[in-house]
A and B are shown apart, each in its own frame.
Chain A
Amino acid sequence: MSELMPLLLIVEDDTQMLKFLRASLASHGYRLVDAATGAEGLNQAGAYNPDLILLDLGLPDIDGLEVTQRLREWATAPIIVLSARGQESDKIRALDAGADDYLTKPFGTGELLARIRVALRHSARGGQERTEPTLTVGDLRVDLDKRSVFVAGKEVHLTPIEYKLLTTLFKNAGKVLTHRLLLKEVWGPGYANNTQYLRVYMVQLRHKLEGDPARPRYLVTEPGVGYRLRVEE
């Protein structure tokens, strides 16, 4: 059984934090390796080729951002960054450098496990995006072949940009997507800084898809970072 469970690499210098991560992840069956410094982390990643990497941004030797960049030179395993509140710009840089998601300390086990599952699911699908013709999250359903969107079985008409925005979020369901990434995906590389467009479209999309747009169930804001399509488990 344990042979089939994914191998996680934890790069974290705080021993108590490491203890907590080891305890909670091991009890859910994950196989673990750990490292207390950036250099050690890079070595371990090379040696074990883990399925997922949990990376603390504040490491004693190498900046977490640099570790991300160097990992991404060869590794495809998802990286989840752990950081403190108030480091939004660091999070964005890490995400733009190739990290897949982030968790803000302090976080609970439930949140941690959910993020790990989402990241592993996406990496298992790999590059083949259109494995299924329909994507479903809660009441929302997108039929990729027919290009139609349903809320609780009822079809909703979206503009082309809204549709593209929604499908981008759907294909990365549960994962945080930075403003920059969404703008590049939906509008094209020339629009990477026009976050107002993104925000306005997101509001429109919520008004079409959410029961209470001011308290979104699916299209949630990650303040200062981007958006996430929340997956209810």
Chain B
Amino acid sequence: MPRITLERLSLPAAALSAGLSTAVASAFFSPEQLPDVVMVYLLGIVLVSMRFGYAPSMLAAVLGVLCFDFFFIPPYYTLAVRDLSHIVTFGVMFLVAAVISGLTRRVRDQAEAARQREQRTASLYALSKELASTRQVQDIAQIAERRLKDAIGVESTLFVAEESNAALKPAWERSATPLDGEEQRALDWAWQHQRSAGLTTDTLPSARALYLPLVASRGKVAVLRVGSGLENRLSDSEARQHLSAFASQIAGAIERTELAAEAQRAELQMEAEQLRNSLLSSVSHDLRTPLAVMTGAASTLLEDTLSAATRKELTETILQEAQRLNRLVRNLLDMTRLEAGALSVNKEWQPLEEVIGSALNRSDDALKGRTVSVELARDLPLVPLDAILIEQVLVNLLENAAKYTPAGAPLEIRAELRSQAVEVEVCDHGPGIPAGHEQRIFEKFYRGHPGEGGVGLGLAICRGIVLAHGGELRVENRAGGGAVFRFRLPLDGEPPALDVAEGGLEEHERSELGGGSLRS
């Protein structure tokens, strides 16, 4: 804006400089002091060139020479020249004015360039500073797009690909018009060939925007679409350089996020590896302990000097350890099958009571000395479940309760119908779940009391089985102390139509039974 005003003022300024120079010279110097008069004119020209640039200063030089001739060279008040040596003076005066104007212009331009460079450096610095603290590609895109608008005055969009072969998409969601054919082609071309395409380039120049591939040290990372406002700006090479400096900053930032993500993945992998190793050692420890006890007890039994009581005790030890080992192996196998996806769920509609019955039957040893009360709602329908698997869930929950609650403490099993699902609860009167561990206890190899047998798989298996049934398993502490494990089994699908009233069959049966003393 100020530039235009200055240009408009350049003609009056040149005239003013000539006039003022004449006035000052005639006020202070006589026509005999010609060198001083020349200096005054030169000063005027320099001032014009400093403020208004080359053309106005040359104009001021011409006007100055004319005024000098008119007012100070005899014959006065004419442009005629009597002494030819004055022509040389005019020439020197003009030449000096030209040289000074040139020098001044260069200084001006350099100052201007330095100012612009400083601005650009500042904007680049601001960009890199802001980008340094971002971890997300969408944040980088938002920052870059805003900074580009501030610094260069262009609208831009950053396109990234989630995977190296996936299609490019804007890095963050915004209401932008989708790219039409030509734009899309330019975008893809820039991405594939890693060279600029679109507006102001040789490739697809009819596109409405410039597509700059962003390439970092390890290869392409994104494409920057530079849209409206571009044509005016990119005419000068400085702005182009500025844009490409921005581009490489952005590319570097995106690559940094990728590297960070990779580093994190690598770390996770390493942690998983460590976990696996520690699991392996804990599993092998858990398997070896009962084996060691059995080996020891059995080899002791081979000695002849033992009393009958000792023999019995050792034999019982072997039996208990074998059962423990059996449980361990069972859990490990179940977990392996669950994880391998090899667990097939054979759902059949059946009464829950029966599954609970067989689970209690199987847990007899673990539940010795406890009362287990079973409360089943009267309206319980048949439930689609795999009896063997759900029995395993109940056995694990019961054995778990037996393990973590004081000997003899009672347990309760409850089941009721609740919003298209049957909810089964196993409640205990133990210490409950430590705060914050409500989720962790379902993790593989989590153990409530490390070092006390068990590999920490029982509950993980329970959750896996319940999930495979489309249900969920949770735990909570209850107000009066103790934990409640609650799982839901959804009543999916069509229950079988049952003719439990013995309808047509009854007649047939009755006749076969010959109408004995039986009554329904």
Contact = CB atoms under 8 A, between A and B. Distances in A.
B361 A196 contact: no
A5 interface: no
Interface stretch (B11-19, B130-138, B484-492, B511-519): B511-519
A85 B505 CA distance: 37
A196 B350 contact: yes
A150 to B, nearest CB: 12
B509 A215 contact: no
B517 A148 contact: yes
Contacts of B518: 147-148, 157-160, 163
B498 A187 contact: no
Interface in B326-355: 326, 330, 333, 346, 348-351, 353-355
A203 interface: yes
Contacts of B505: 161, 187
A164 B350 CA distance: 21
Contacts of B349: 196
Contact of B517 (A88, A108, A146, A222): A146
A130 to B, nearest CB: 15
B356 interface: yes
Given A85-B330, A159-B518, A200-B382, A214 B360 contact: yes
Nearest to B333: A86
Contacts of A221: 354-355, 357-358, 361, 387
Contacts of B322: 106
B388 interface: yes
Contacts of A106: 322, 326
10 contacts: A146-B517, A147-B516, A147-B518, A163-B518, A199-B351, A206-B353, A215-B372, A220-B357, A221-B358, A221-B387
Interface in A176-233: 187, 194-197, 199-204, 206, 212-216, 220-224
B374 interface: yes
Given A160-B513, A196-B382, A215-B361, A224 B388 contact: yes
Given A157-B518, A187-B505, A199-B351, A214 B513 contact: no
B351 A200 contact: yes
Given A196-B496, A220-B358, 9 more contacts: A86-B333, A88-B388, A163-B513, A196-B498, A199-B351, A215-B357, A215-B360, A215-B374, A224-B346
Given A106-B326, A199-B350, A157 B498 contact: no
A161 B502 contact: yes
Interface residues of B, number: 42
Given A196-B382, A203-B353, A215-B374, A223 B388 contact: yes
Nearest to B390: A223
A166 B116 CA distance: 101
B115 interface: no
Nearest to A187: B505
B302 interface: no
Contact of B509 (A86, A161, A197): A161
A108 B319 CA distance: 9
Interface string B475-508: 0000000000000000000001011101001100
A189 to B, nearest CB: 14
A160 B510 contact: yes
A223 B387 contact: yes
Given A106-B322, A200-B351, A214-B353, A223 B496 contact: no
A198 to B, nearest CB: 10
Interface string A96-140: 000000000010100000000000000000000000000000000
B107 interface: no
Given A88-B388, A160-B506, A224-B388, A199 B517 contact: no
B248 to A, nearest CB: 61
Contacts of B358: 220-223
Nearest to A163: B518
B382 to A, nearest CB: 6
Interface in B291-335: 319, 322, 326, 330, 333
Contacts of B319: 108
A135 B360 CA distance: 27
Given A195-B348, A196-B382, A213 B496 contact: no
Interface in B381-421: 382, 387-388, 391, 413
Nearest to B326: A106
Nearest to B514: A147
A199 B374 contact: no
A31 B342 CA distance: 43
Contacts of B510: 160
A216 B374 CA distance: 12
Nearest to B356: A214
Interface in A77-97: 85-86, 88
B235 interface: no
A111 to B, nearest CB: 13
A202 B387 CA distance: 15
A148 B513 CA distance: 12
Contacts of A161: 502, 505-506, 509
Contacts of B498: 196-197, 200
A159 B520 contact: yes
B114 interface: no
A150 B318 CA distance: 43
Interface string B157-181: 0000000000000000000000000
B366 to A, nearest CB: 14
B376 interface: yes
Contacts of A147: 513, 516-518
Interface string A155-178: 001111101100000000000000
A224 to B, nearest CB: 5
A3 to B, nearest CB: 32
B354 A146 contact: no
B329 to A, nearest CB: 10
A228 B354 CA distance: 13
Nearest to A219: B357
B469 to A, nearest CB: 16
A164 B520 CA distance: 13
